[in-house]
Amino acid sequence: MVKITLPYCGDLVRRYDPDRFLITLKMPPEKRPALWALFAFNHEIAKTREVVTDTTIGLIRLQWWRDALAQIYEKDTVQPNEILTALYQAIKTFNLSREWLDALIYAREFDLQNVPPASLPGLEHYADYINTPLVRLALQITEQTEEDTVLRNIATSYSLTGLLRAVPFHAQQQRCFLPADLMARHHISETALYDLKPESSYLNITEMIAKRATDLTRTKPQSPLLQTHRRLSRLYLRQIKKLDYNVMSPHMAAPPAFFHLQFALPSLQL
C-alpha cells in the first residue's frame, strides 16, 4: 500500500479539522494546497481560547497573526512559519481578500470574552461571523461563485452544526455557546453543563438550534464547495435528530452510519 505524504498544512487539517479535509478532497487537486493553508490558518486562530489562560495573552496571539498578515499584504514578506509560508502562496496565487482574513481573526476575539451568546440570533450571528469569511476565501481559491444569501445560510448552518457537536468539548473547557436567554428560560445551570450532566430540558435548546441549522440548509447551492458544506451539515443534523438532540450522547463521538459513503455519493438524497 502506497503511503501518501501530505504537506504540513494538509496533515494538520487532516488531524484537527477532518470534515474540512474531506471537503478539500472533493475539490480539484491543484486547489488543495491553498485550501489546506487557509484551513490550517483558521485552525490556528480558532484554537486561541484553548491554548491561552489569559485574555490578554490571547489578544496578543491574535494580534501576532494580524501583524503577520499585514506584513504579507503591505511588505510582501512572510514570517518563518510553515502555515504562513503556505498561506502566502495562496494569497499571491488567488489574490485572497485581506478583509476576510482579518475578519476571521477579529471574530475569534469574542471567544476570549468567555460569555455565552445572549440569544439564538446572537449565536447565529457568531456562527455566521466565524465561518462565512472562511467560505468566501475558499470560494476564491476554487474559483467558484455563489449567491450571497445562499452562501451565508450554508456557512452559518455548517458552523451551528459544528457548535452543537462541540457542546461536550466546550463544556469540558468551561465554555458555553448555548444562548443565555434559553439557558435561563429552561433553568439550565452552567455548572451542570460543565459537569456534562445538564438538566434534561437542555434538549429543548439543542433542538431549537438544530432546527434552525436545518432550516438554513433548505437553500440549495450551485457551487460544488457549498454543496459539500451543506451535505456534511445535513448528515450531522440527521444524526443529532436521531439521538433526540442529545449532543451529550456517547454515540455522537462516532460518525453517522455509512458516513463516508453518504458524503461521497451526491446521488443519495439528503
pLDDT tens figures, 229-238: 999 999 999 9
Cα separation, 82 vs 44, in Å, equals 12
- Kindly state whether residue 65 falls inside one of the protein's structural domains: yes
- CA nearest neighbour of 130 among 103, 165, 96, 168: 103
The reply to whether 151 and 227 lie within a common domain is yes
Place of cell 458544506: 229
Judge if 62 and 135 occupy the same domain. Answer: no
122 and 65 belong to one structural domain: no
Separation in Å, CA 59 to CA 17, 113, 241, 248: 23, 10, 37, 31
3-state helix, strand and coil shares in percent for the chain, rounded to the nearest 5 = 70, 0, 30
How many whole angstroms separate alpha carbon 226 and alpha carbon 223?
A: 5
- Count of H-run helices and E-run strands, the chain: 15, 0
Handedness of CA 150, 99, 37, 57 (dihedral sign): negative
AA letter at 123: L
Per-residue pLDDT tens over the stretch 2-55: 456 789 999 999 999 999 999 999 999 999 999 999 999 999 999 999 998 889
Q: Which of 63, 83, 114 is the last residue before a domain boundary?
A: 114
Q: Has residue 267 got a pLDDT over 60? A: no
Domain assignment of residue 153, given as a range: 116-247
Does one domain contain both 161 and 205?
yes
Query: Which amino acid is it at 1?
Result: M
Domain shared by 80 and 106, yes or no: yes
Whole-angstrom distance, CA of residue 123 vs CA of residue 25: 30
Looking at the predicted structure, is the pLDDT value of residue 270 above 70?
no
252 within domain boundaries: no
Mean pLDDT of the chain: 94
Cell numbers for 251, please give them.
Answer: 454515540
- Tell me, yes or no, whether 108 and 130 share the same domain: no
Residue range 94-144, pLDDT digits in tens: 999 999 999 999 999 999 988 899 999 999 999 999 999 999 999 999 999
Q: Nearest 5°: CA angle at 52, between 47 and 56?
A: 115
* CATH code where residue 122 lies: 1.10.600.10
pTM to 2 decimal places:
0.94
Q: For residue 169, what pLDDT is reported?
A: 94
Question: Does residue 1 have a pLDDT over 60?
Answer: no
